[in-house]
Chain A
Amino acid sequence: MTRDNTADRGDWLDDLLSAPPPLPGNDDFSARVMAEIGRQGRLRRLVLGAASVIGGALLLGLMPWADIMALLQQSQKLAALVPSDRDLLGLAAGLSTNLAITAAGAALLLGWLLREG
């Protein structure tokens, strides 16, 4: 790009201004920035990983609800089919398992965040 401020230069003040400004005294600045980039990268990967686990657990948790809805629709249609105690027990167990997986994932993530932060 063509310079358009050459006319500004030429006297003692402009010579003084042309020198680069001084630097802060922190000699390991670059190392500090690269370490922070690495730390944020690890954090991002962990959050993404944890989100995948939790998302998967939540997805699994939705499946029994779908079964319930299908069952209810069927029962309404047929007006005779009522879920047995055994079916309901199975659905509750499935939901509890998935909730436990989700809670464990959230606890692991929280623990890691507290340790890193």
Chain B
Amino acid sequence: MAESDAALIARSVLGGDNRAFAVLLERHQSMVRGLLLRLTGGNGSLADDLAQETFLQVFRSLGGYRGEAKFSSWLYRIAYNKFLTHKRRQLVPDLEFGNGTDEDCPHPDRAIGARIDLERAMTTLKTAERAALTLCFAYGLSHVEASAVMGLPVGTIKSHIARGRDKLRLRLAPWAKEVAL
């Protein structure tokens, strides 16, 4: 049976066991990298650099984790803040990644095509909309949990989700019948 996050954290913090941290890293890295890939608009190398910074900070401050939120939520919060810090430093405008209007034709393979177009359409959303949709839909966080991760009121999270879905529904309209089949 797999060791719980809490047990691994205890081994890492109290026993200085780096192998325990390696297991935590292996367990959660795909979610953190996936979130950051979406936030960076598909920039894989930047997403991995930010993910590395995230896990280095997690390693340094693991002793300060009090278990008040799920460990994964704590990770997402650090990753999200890393991205916001990077964005502020680079003065990246929110809609830098394109407008998505030139690629409205559905991909011949339905499942893959829909996923590709979804990622493309995601880049046209605001950062908070992308983060809220990813946390609540792909990672299954509740609005309350997403609110804690993003440091925003629950009502604002709901607004971001509603606006993000409306924009995606418009962008991905050609897929409505294809995917539903």
Contact = CB atoms under 8 A, between A and B. Distances in A.
Interface string A1-13: 1111100110011
B38 A21 contact: yes
A4 B169 contact: no
Nearest to B25: A30
B contacts with A: majority SS: helix
Interface residues of A, number: 31
A5 B136 contact: yes
B169 A33 contact: no
Interface size class of B (residues with CB under 8 A): 35 or more
Q: Which of B56, B136, B168, B180 has the most CB of A within 10 A?
A: B136
Interface string A52-85: 0000000000000000000000000000000000
Interface of B: 18, 21-22, 25-26, 29-31, 33-35, 37-38, 44-45, 47-48, 51-52, 55-56, 59, 114-115, 118-119, 133-134, 136-140, 142-145, 161, 165, 168-169, 172, 175-176, 179-180
5 shortest interchain CB distances as A-B pairs: A24-B44, A17-B137, A21-B34, A12-B179, A12-B180
Interface of A: 1-5, 8-9, 12-26, 29-30, 32-34, 36-38, 40
